[in-house]
Amino acid sequence: MPIETVTQEHRPSGVIAAAPWRVRAVNVQPSYRLSITCNDGTSGIVDMSALVNSVDAGIFAALKDAQLFQQVSIELGALTWPNGADLDPLWVHEEIGKSKTWSVPV
């Protein structure tokens, strides 16, 4: 199954997502992991495997479908999926800044 890289940012005309903590690039990795880079150069791995596979995953449960997970995109600096799931970019930035790898909690 191909893994796609998403580096575009969708935003309304005139809106500039320049905050240092906004995600500017994401690359889908195996095992529900994302390699991300923020506007200030902070980069690391977001491991979503525990969340996606949890019985309490909520909206993130649908991302267990690898094809849907790979449809991650960047909207106004946040990681988003077509089903409405998203991750707060400030939270992602803070956690990646601490240790370069962040396992998203359930």
**Residue 18 one-letter amino acid:** A
Extents of the domains making up the chain: 5-99
Tell which residue, 38, 73, 72, 32, has the closest CA to residue 54: 32
DSSP 45-81: EEE-HHHHTSTT-GGGGGGGSHHHHTT-EEETTEEE-
Residue with tokens 């019985």: 55
36 forms beta bridges with 26, 44
Would you give per-residue pLDDT tens digits along the chain (106 residues)? 444 444 444 555 555 557 889 999 999 999 999 999 999 999 999 999 999 999 999 999 999 999 999 999 999 999 999 999 999 999 999 999 999 999 999 8
Q: Fold for domain 5-99?
A: NE0471 N-terminal domain-like (3.30.2020)
